[in-house]
């Protein structure tokens, strides 16, 4: 007999099924603001690198299109990559500048 217990607290949803624990996290507005910023930075860097390559313009356009789709999926739909983006920006907020 399988019972499903769900506890909803705050912005997280915790569910337990036969010993497995699953987490569903709803991101706030601040962390969602990081994803377009990271996408723009990564896309700018990759377009700069692709534009320096000495290949035909058609291949450059194709590479830019493929790269933009891959980066879009990573930045907006891949949970692991989004956690890395939020972690990176969170760590950068903790740095103290010494002048």
The pTM of the full predicted model, rounded to 2 decimals, is 0.69
More confident residue, 98 or 57: 57
pLDDT at residue 82 in the model: 93
Burial class (CB in 10 A: 0-12, 13-18, 19+), 1: exposed
Instruction: Label residue 96 left, alpha or beta by phi (over 0 means left) and psi (-120 to 50 means alpha).
Output: beta
pLDDT tens for each residue of 8-47: 445 555 555 555 666 676 778 888 899 999 999 999 999 9
Q: Does residue 76 sit in helix, strand or coil?
A: helix
Residues 69-92 have a mean pLDDT of 94
CA angle 65, 70, 79 (to 5 degrees): 155
pLDDT at residue 95 in the model: 82
Residues in CB range of 75: below 8 A, 6 or more apart: 35, 36, 38, 39, 42, 81, 82, 85
pLDDT at residue 20 in the model: 62
- Would you say residue 50 has pLDDT above 90? yes
Q: Which of the four pLDDT bands, split at 50, 70 and 90, describes residue 49?
A: very high
């Amino acid at each position: 007999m399988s019972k499903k217990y769900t506890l909803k607290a705050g912005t997280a949803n915790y569910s337990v099924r036969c010993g497995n624990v699953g987490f569903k996290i709803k991101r706030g507005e601040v962390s969602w603001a990081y994803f377009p910023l990271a996408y723009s930075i990564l896309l700018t860097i990759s377009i700069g690198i692709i534009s320096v390559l000495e290949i035909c313009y058609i291949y450059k356009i194709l590479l830019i299109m493929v790269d933009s789709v891959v980066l879009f999926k990573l930045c907006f739909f891949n949970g692991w990559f989004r956690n890395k983006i939020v972690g990176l920006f969170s760590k950068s907020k903790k740095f103290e500048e010494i002048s």
